Amino acid sequence: MEKKQKIKRDVGKIVIKIVAAVLALLMVLAVAGTLIYYLIPA
């Protein structure tokens, strides 16, 4: 029983890290896209 719970907890931590990384990447892409959009016409 304890091993299954530990595995579930570990998987949860990994999933949270993956989701956080994806969100961070999206934020970076959004900022980069905004900067490019505003700088190119100028």
pLDDT digits 0-9 by tens, 1-42? 567 777 778 888 999 999 999 999 999 999 999 999 999 876
Q: Which of 39, 21, 19 is nearest to 31 (CA)?
A: 39
This prediction's pTM: 0.69
d(CA 8, CA 20): 18
